[in-house]
């Protein structure tokens, strides 16, 4: 297989579970389940279909004769009719009632919905695992002061755990969106060539009451609550748009987190897991590149852009259907899912193995903290008898001098020494250093983490205990 293109999504990134969901085997087994559901429904509603025919169909639901279908497709150039033919070869008694009254979209579109629903279940499970692992990280480092940034310029301190809750909250939004869209998915049902169920009107001799029962029965047999009430030949391609937007949302959240981690790894404050024998660079043996986070960002961009495909496809459909959706859909939907599957596996790996370096964090924070502590220092100086307005001006001047020493001369921040040497402050260096406790400047960061985890995150994890298994019991 080295003489032809192989998709990196299946070769390098996506899990076996996700690959199976979009495999030919899953697709064609689902076709057969749909044909069985249709035959059972038609029998229950009065068509002359025997139990023997149904049992014959069930006996061959999984042992698909692929070679027969492939040879037939070479002749007739139609995938659905080739599989109808192959199924009929295995089920001679039921041959005449397979696909009765249905169009190709009965198996094609219903299967697409079923496959996306299964794929969303796997994505949800992995997303919940990432949320669980991130919540553990946030809890572990909720009190670790760190320098916060706005515009990537030093700002007021926060904590490592509080910063992680920013990532966590976005993933929780994605989970909410996923559960809403997943819970609203419906089947196409069996509505015929233009969505009018004309073929069933013929089969059931105009019995409207009986025809109304077809879609609800099929939906129930296939594990869905309902079918879309109206359609053309296909379900609305707006459905694909909604689903891919969920994936793009997760990709955006993962990208933001991975970017932050890459920046923090540059600062040597936080580092993604690095294996014992891993090589960071072919030229620079000392390097430890954030390759997993970079891969998350790379795949995330692909998914975000990929979401445009179903949106444009939905917008450009003609009347009851055109076929310009088919080739695009065959690429964009599976690849979006395979990519986000790989992204979530990477996110879990990164978060699970994140290494935090408190000494480096403290050193950078302490280098900037004197500037941030100036308001507290000024208040202490006022208490010692100083004039607030005069002290404010002196702190401004001394801060500029200390900043110049750092930027132009490459010296350490000596603002405290400059203030201690100024008699207008009447504060010793020891007194000033007492004001340099970082926990005085992190505000309510720790309390916010505790409240967020207790009131928002843990109830969500409690709802997903079965997906998380033993870990949820420990954490929640």
pTM exceeding 0.75: yes
- According to DSSP, residue 455 is labeled I
For residues 179 and 156, is the Cβ–Cβ distance under 8 A?
no
Q: How many C-beta atoms lie closer than 10 Å to residue 426's C-beta?
A: 14
What φ, ψ does residue 159 adopt, rounded to 5°? -125, 160
SS3 call for 145 = strand
* Domain parsing of the chain, residue ranges: 21-90, 360-440
Q: Is the dihedral of CA 140, 142, 143, 146 positive or negative?
A: positive
The yes or no reply on domain 360-440 and CATH 3.30.70.660 is no
Predicted local distance difference test score (pLDDT) of residue 472: 40
Q: In whole angstroms, what is the distance from residue 82 CA to residue 74 CA?
A: 9
Tell me the pLDDT of the chain (476 aa) as tens digits: 689 999 999 999 999 999 999 999 999 999 999 999 999 999 999 999 999 999 999 999 999 999 999 999 999 999 999 999 999 999 999 999 999 999 999 999 999 999 999 999 999 999 999 999 999 999 999 999 999 999 999 989 999 999 999 999 999 999 999 999 999 999 999 999 999 999 999 999 999 999 999 999 999 999 999 999 999 999 999 999 999 999 999 999 999 999 999 999 999 999 998 764 554 544 444 457 899 999 999 999 999 999 999 999 999 999 999 999 999 999 999 999 999 999 999 999 999 999 999 999 999 999 889 888 888 888 888 888 888 888 889 988 998 998 898 889 998 889 899 989 998 888 889 888 888 889 989 999 999 999 999 999 999 999 998 888 745 443 43
For residues 359 and 279, is the Cβ–Cβ distance under 8 A?
no
For residues 110 and 172, is the Cβ–Cβ distance under 8 A?
no
For residues 239 and 185, is the Cβ–Cβ distance under 8 A?
yes
**Do the domains at 21-90 and 360-440 have one common CATH topology?**
no
Q: In whole angstroms, what is the distance from residue 221 CA to residue 32 CA?
A: 13
For residues 264 and 344, is the Cβ–Cβ distance under 8 A?
no
- Structure tokens belonging to residue 473: 């019991």
The yes or no reply on domain 21-90 and CATH 1.10.275.10 is yes
Question: How many whole angstroms from its chain centre is CA 390?
Answer: 54
Predicted local distance difference test score (pLDDT) of residue 375: 80
Q: How many C-beta atoms lie closer than 10 Å to residue 412's C-beta?
A: 12
334, 243, 244: which is closest to 23 by C-alpha? 334
Predicted local distance difference test score (pLDDT) of residue 1: 67
Residues belonging to the active site: 151, 281
For residues 269 and 356, is the Cβ–Cβ distance under 8 A?
yes
- Residues whose CB is less than 8 angstroms from the CB of residue 26 and which lie 6 or more positions away in sequence, other chains included: 20, 115, 118
């Amino acid at each position: 297989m080295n003489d032809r293109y192989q998709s990196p999504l299946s070769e390098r990134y996506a899990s076996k579970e996700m690959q199976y969901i979009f495999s030919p085997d899953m697709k064609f087994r689902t076709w057969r389940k749909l044909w069985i559901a249709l035959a059972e429904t038609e029998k229950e509603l009065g068509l002359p279909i025997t139990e023997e025919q149904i049992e014959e169909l069930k006996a061959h639901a999984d042992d698909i004769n692929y070679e027969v279908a492939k040879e037939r497709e070479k002749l007739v150039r139609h995938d659905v009719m080739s599989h109808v033919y192959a199924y009929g070869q295995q089920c001679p008694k039921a041959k005449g009632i397979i696909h009765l009254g249905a169009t190709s979209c009965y198996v094609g579109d219903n299967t697409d919905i079923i496959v996306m629903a299964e794929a969303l279940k796997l994505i949800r499970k992995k997303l919940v695992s990432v949320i669980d692992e991130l919540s553990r990280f946030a809890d572990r480092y909720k009190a670790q002061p760190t320098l916060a940034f706005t515009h990537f310029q030093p700002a007021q301190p926060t904590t490592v755990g509080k910063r992680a809750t920013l990532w966590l909250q976005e993933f929780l939004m994605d989970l909410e969106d996923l559960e809403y869209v997943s819970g609203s998915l419906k089947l196409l049902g069996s509505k015929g060539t233009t969505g009018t169920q004309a073929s069933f009107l013929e089969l059931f001799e105009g019995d409207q009451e009986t025809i109304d029962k077809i879609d609800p029965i099929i939906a129930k047999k296939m594990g869905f609550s309902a079918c879309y009430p109206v359609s053309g030949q296909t379900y609305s391609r707006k459905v694909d748009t909604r689903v891919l937007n969920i994936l793009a949302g997760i990709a955006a959240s993962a990208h933001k987190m991975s970017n932050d981690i890459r920046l923090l790894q540059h600062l040597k404050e936080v580092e993604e897991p690095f294996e014992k024998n891993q090589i960071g660079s072919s030229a620079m043996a000392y390097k430890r590149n954030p390759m997993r986070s970079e891969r998350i960002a790379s795949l995330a961009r692909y998914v975000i852009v990929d979401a445009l495909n179903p949106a444009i496809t939905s917008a450009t459909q003609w009347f009851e259907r055109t076929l310009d959706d088919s080739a695009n859909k065959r690429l964009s939907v599976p690849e979006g899912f395979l990519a986000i599957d790989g992204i979530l596996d990477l996110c879990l790996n990164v978060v699970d193995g994140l290494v935090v370096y408190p000494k480096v964090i403290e050193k950078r924070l302490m280098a900037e903290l004197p500037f941030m502590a100036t308001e507290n220092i000024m208040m202490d100086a006022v208490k010692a008898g100083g004039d607030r307005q005069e002290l404010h001006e002196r702190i401004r001047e001394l801060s500029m001098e200390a900043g110049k020493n750092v930027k132009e001369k490459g010296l350490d921040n000596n603002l405290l020494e400059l203030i201690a040497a100024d008699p207008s402050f009447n504060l010793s260096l020891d007194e000033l250093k007492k004001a340099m406790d970082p926990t005085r400047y992190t505000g309510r960061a720790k309390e916010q983490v505790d409240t967020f985890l207790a009131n928002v995150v843990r109830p969500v994890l409690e709802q997903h205990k079965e997906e998380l298994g033993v870990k949820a019991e420990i954490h929640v």
